[in-house]
């Protein structure tokens, strides 16, 4: 993790190298087996149907999905296979317990796959029914430039590099902070081929 300039906004917490290299490789193996049953799909923007640049799937009782017709939502089934989502890897439940010991367990784990040229626009995580639990994520593979601002769109932002194994939490005053991924850096990790990146994002959805 390397912060570009300014300090992190209140409520943004980074745990550099939360997961070591062996743990990252083991988690990737586990993710591959689960993704074989719940394949990556292309999320599409509500109304316009524009494709997002990440490919995604979910683990856990609920999954976040989006399509042109029905927009952003949580559902218990994979939109293509109709099957329940695979269970969350235990190490991610440990991550949640470590960083959010007082919060109820996470219900959704978004799995975002970034090819070398993928990015994610600035957005708030706001489709949950409750916002008192943090959003916690783990990065694997290529380093990315992550950007976080305040709770209003267009305010000042801070950029930081998230490396493979780094964990990030948005909690309290930063739970509704705008954030996004501006770019990936080639040649920063050998974990995922062709400079790819995976982000696992854990969220509590209901009270």
Ligand X SMILES: O=C(O)CCC(=O)C(=O)O
Q: What is the DSSP string of 20-66?
A: -HHHHHHHHHHHHHHHHHS--B--B-TTT-PBPSSEEEEESSBEEE-
Choose, by CB under 6 A, the member of 1, 100, 110, 177 that binds ligand X.
110
Site for Mn ion (CB under 5 A): which residue of 125, 128, 163, 166?
125
62 binds ligand X (CB under 6 A): no
- Alpha-carbon distances of 11 from 5, 135, 150, 173, 176, rounded to whole Å: 17, 11, 10, 5, 10
Whether residue 75 contacts residue 121, with contact meaning beta carbons closer than 8 Å, is answered with: no
Q: Are 95 and 18 in contact (CB under 8 A)?
A: yes
Shortest distance in whole angstroms from residue 136 CB to ligand X: 11
Which residues, numbered 123-162, are part of the site for ligand X (CB under 6 A)? 125, 137, 146
Q: Which residue is nearest to ligand X (CB)?
A: 199
146 binds, among ligand X, Mn ion, none (CB under 5 to 8 A by kind): ligand X
201 binds ligand X (CB under 6 A): yes
Closest by CA to 171, choosing from 199, 206, 130, is: 130
The entry of ligand X, Mn ion, none that residue 178 binds, CB within 5 to 8 Å by partner kind: none
Nearer to ligand X, 61 or 140 (CB): 140
The site for ligand X (CB under 6 A) is made up of: 110, 112, 120, 125, 137, 146, 179, 181, 199, 201
């Amino acid at each position: 993790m390397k912060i570009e300039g300014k300090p992190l906004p209140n409520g943004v917490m980074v745990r550099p190298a939360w997961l070591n290299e062996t743990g990252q490789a083991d988690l990737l193996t586990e993710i591959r087996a689960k993704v074989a049953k719940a394949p990556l799909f292309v999320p599409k923007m509500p109304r316009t149907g524009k494709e997002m640049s990440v490919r995604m799937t979910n683990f856990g009782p609920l999954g976040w999905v989006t399509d042109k017709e029905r927009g952003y939502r949580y559902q218990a089934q994979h939109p293509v296979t109709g099957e329940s989502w695979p269970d969350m890897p235990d190490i991610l439940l440990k991550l949640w317990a470590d960083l959010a010991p007082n919060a109820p367990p996470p219900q959704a784990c978004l799995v975002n796959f970034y090819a070398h040229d993928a990015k994610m626009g600035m957005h708030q995580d706001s489709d949950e029914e409750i916002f008192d639990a943090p959003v916690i994520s783990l990065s694997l593979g290529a380093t990315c430039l992550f950007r976080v601002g305040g709770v209003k769109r267009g305010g000042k932002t801070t950029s930081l590099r998230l490396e493979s194994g780094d964990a990030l939490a948005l909690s309290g005053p930063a739970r509704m902070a705008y954030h996004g991924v501006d770019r990936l850096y080639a040649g920063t990790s050998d974990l995922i081929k062709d400079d790819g990146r995976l982000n696992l994002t854990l969220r509590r959805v209901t009270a």
